Amino acid sequence: MPHSGQVDGASSPKGSQYSAHTIKFNNVVIINFIMNILMIGEYPPKIGGISTHIYYLKKELIKLNQNVFVLTYSKSLEDGVYYNKLPNRFRGFFFILFGLFKGIYIIRRNKIDIIHSHFATTPGLLGLILSLITRKKRILTVHGSDVNVFLRRKYIGKIVNFVISNHPLIISVSPNLANKLENKSNNVIVSISNGVDSLRFFPEDIERQGIGFIGALVNEKNPKAFIEIITGLRKLGIMEPAYVLGQGYLKKELEEMSSGLDISYLGEIMDTENYLKKFKIFISTSRTEGFGLSILDSMSCATPVVSLMSPGSYFLLGDLGLVVENENQAISLIEKIFKDQSFTNDISKKILEKSKLFSWEKCALETIKIYNKILLK
C-alpha cells in the first residue's frame, strides 16, 4: 500500500487565491489546498465500481474541505451533482454533446480548478475536451476494463488510447493495472487503491448460507464461468444454493444455462453488505478487474473469496492463495473451503486483516497529494 507523504512545496500556486491547511496522517503532514473539483463519470443511483468509487471519494474529499461537483449520466437529487437526460441509443455521443454545454456551465459557475475524469472512454474524452476549452487542469483515473478490455477494441480503443495519451498524469486503482498501463504509455502513472466502507461491510456472527456472485451480467464480468463452477460443485454433491446479484444482457442466457442448478437471480442490489455477510463463499469470475471492489467488500465481511485471475484479484488475493487460473481449480478450492473448517477459518481471518489496509480516507488523502502536485506545476 502507498504511504501518505508530504507534498513538495508548501506555498500556494502562483497567482492563486487558494487557501491551505495541513493534514496529519500516519504521522506525516500533508499540505491541503482548498480546491473546486469537477468529477466526471458514473454516480449513484447507478450501481457499479466506478459510481461507488466517485461517491466515496467525493464524500471523503468534502470532509477535507474540498468543494466537489459531479457530472454524470443518471438523475441524482444530491447537491453538487449534475446530470443530462440522455436517450438510450448513442448514449456516449449525447453525453459528450450535452456534457460540453453542462460542463462549461459547471466550470464557470463553480470556478473549477481541476477536472477529474473516471474511465478512459466517454468520461475521459469529455473531461479532456472541457480541459482544452476552459484551460483547466485535468487528471484521469483508469478503473480496469477501460485498459484491459476497451483499449484492445478496434474503434473505441482509438478513443481510449487518445484519452490516455493526452492525460500526462493518470491514477490507477491498483499497482498491477498501473504496471500494465506503464508498458503502453509514457505518462506518469500513480497507483491509489480503492477503499472499503467498514461501517457497512463487517463480519456478523450469523449462520452463513449460499455461494454468491456480484456484478453486471455482461461478457466483461465473465458470469458464465460462475455457472460452470456451480455445475462442477453440483457434480461433487455440494448443493449449497447460489445467488447472482446483478443485471445485464446475458441474464436470459444465464438463466437458461443454470436451469435446475438452484441459482437465484436477484437483480441489481444496493445493500450488498446484507448478502456478503451471509454468503459462505463469494466468487469473482472477471478476468479484467482493475481492482475488484466486491472482492474487498467480501474480505471486510470475512467472507471467503475465490477468484479467477485478474490484475485486481491478484493484487488483493494473490498472496493468500485464493486466485486460480481456471474453473476447475476454483471448484477444487471451493470444495476444500466447504470440507475443511480450519482452512476456512484461517482464510476468513487473513482476508479480514488484509482488508483493514484499505480505506476511502486513505484514497482521498492520496488523491489530494496528486491534486496539489497538479496545481503546483
Averages of pLDDT over runs of 10 residues in the chain (377 residues) are 37 54 68 89 91 96 94 88 79 86 96 96 96 96 87 87 91 88 79 96 94 95 97 97 96 96 95 96 94 96 97 93 97 97 96 97 94 84
Check whether residue 166 and residue 239 sit in a common domain: no
Check whether residue 216 and residue 171 sit in a common domain: no
105 falls within a domain: yes
Question: Do 84 and 73 meet the contact criterion of CB atoms below 8 Å apart?
Answer: yes
- If you write DSSP's letter for every residue of 325-338 in order, what string do you get? SSHHHHHHHHHHHH
Check whether residue 174 and residue 296 sit in a common domain: no
Check whether residue 149 and residue 37 sit in a common domain: yes
Check whether residue 171 and residue 269 sit in a common domain: no
Check whether residue 64 and residue 108 sit in a common domain: yes
Check whether residue 331 and residue 363 sit in a common domain: no
14 falls within a domain: no
3 falls within a domain: no
Check whether residue 90 and residue 123 sit in a common domain: yes
- How many other C-beta atoms lie within 10 A of the C-beta of residue 61? 23
Q: Collect all residues with Cβ–Cβ distance below 8 Å to 251 and sequence separation of at least 6.
A: 217, 265
Q: What pLDDT sits at residue 162?
A: 92
- pTM equals 0.90
Check whether residue 228 and residue 190 sit in a common domain: no
2 falls within a domain: no
Instruction: Give me the CATH number covering residue 312.
Output: 3.40.50.2000
Residue range(s) defining the domain that contains residue 67? 20-195+359-376
Number of helices and strands in the chain (H, E)? 14, 15
26 falls within a domain: yes
Check whether residue 216 and residue 160 sit in a common domain: no
> If we measure between CA atoms, which residue out of 293, 296, 307 comes closest to residue 337?
307
Check whether residue 73 and residue 132 sit in a common domain: yes
Q: What pLDDT sits at residue 2?
A: 38
8 falls within a domain: no
Half-sphere exposure of 155 (CA within 13 A, CB side): 1
Question: Do 35 and 62 meet the contact criterion of CB atoms below 8 Å apart?
Answer: no
Where do we find the cell 476494463?
145
The tally of domains found in the chain comes to 2
15 falls within a domain: no
Where do we find the cell 455521443?
93
217 falls within a domain: yes
Check whether residue 180 and residue 285 sit in a common domain: no
DSSP state of 22: E
